[in-house]
Amino acid sequence: MKNGKKQTRLSGVERTDQIYSVAAQMICERGFDATSMSDIADAVGITKAGVYHFIPSKKELLFAIMSYGMDTLEAAVIKPAREIADAEQRLKAIISNHSMLIARSSNDDGHSPVTILVEEELGLSPAHRRKLRQRKRVYVDLIRSTLEEMKAEGKLKDVDVTAAAFSLLGMILWVARWFRPDGKLSREQVAEEICKIAFGGLLQIQANGKRKNTEQTE
């Protein structure tokens, strides 16, 4: 009997990752307050005591999930963007990569664990909330400084860069609300469309990176 179980038993790291993944999905679907540790244990297939063996508390679980979300965002979006010298191309990479990240993590019901970063912050302890906000601020500052560079280069419409930065983030994060993996648009097409809207509308810049000549009518 033990030998049979050993073949399917997960390592501590694998079990913790499983708990994070299942909990993130349940929190997305039900909300943090409506998701109990017992619910998570049942979904994972272990006892409630088993969950507490890996996770000390529900708040710690939420912080761990949100920290993992930030780690993913930094690896997939922030770090690659910082390697791009040209501000216009950097902004395009930020919008495209972040949109793709959210689309990739969305399931058939439209839920995305990435949205926990925005929606469930109040479930954190004050200390954890401060840590997460500091990490989020780094990302917002990257977008804002990129827009400021573009504005200095004469490539940006006369808009407030802070308002523009949060507007872009809102548009990207909302992808989780409407994107469906089996829908009309693929993940790549979603990223492309978001870029078109941002560059062609809000910023009045064509998606190919060239400035529109608004004085030319022909």
* Predicted local distance difference test score (pLDDT) of residue 201: 60
pTM for the whole thing?
0.79
Q: State the average pLDDT over residues 61-90.
A: 92
Per-residue pLDDT at 213 exceeds 50: no
* Predicted local distance difference test score (pLDDT) of residue 107: 59
User: How sure is the predictor about 81, in pLDDT bands with cuts at 50, 70 and 90?
Assistant: very high
Q: State the average pLDDT over residues 97-125.
A: 73
* The CATH homologous superfamily of the domain defined by 1-55: Homeodomain-like (1.10.10.60)
CB-based contacts of 13: which residues, under 8 Å, 6+ apart?
none
| Residue with the larger pLDDT of the pair 145 and 218 | 145
User: How sure is the predictor about 11, in pLDDT bands with cuts at 50, 70 and 90?
Assistant: confident
Q: What is the pLDDT of residues 23-71, one digit of tens each?
A: 888 887 888 889 999 999 999 999 999 999 998 998 898 898 888 888 8
CB-based contacts of 115: which residues, under 8 Å, 6+ apart?
28, 102, 173, 176
* Predicted local distance difference test score (pLDDT) of residue 32: 86
> How many residues does the structure list for the chain?
218
Distance from C-alpha of 62 to C-alpha of 72, rounded to nearest angstrom: 15
CB-based contacts of 151: which residues, under 8 Å, 6+ apart?
161
Q: Answer whether 1-55 and 58-202 agree in fold.
A: no
Per-residue pLDDT at 140 exceeds 60: yes
Q: State the average pLDDT over residues 184-194.
A: 90
How does the average pLDDT of the chain come out, rounded?
82
Choose the CATH number for 58-202 among 3.40.190.10, 3.40.50.720, 3.30.70.100, 1.10.357.10.
Answer: 1.10.357.10
Distance from C-alpha of 124 to C-alpha of 126, rounded to nearest angstrom: 6
Per-residue pLDDT at 111 exceeds 60: no
Q: How many CA atoms lie within 13 A of 104 on its CB side?
A: 11
In the chain, domain spans: 1-55, 58-202
Q: State the average pLDDT over residues 168-172.
A: 91
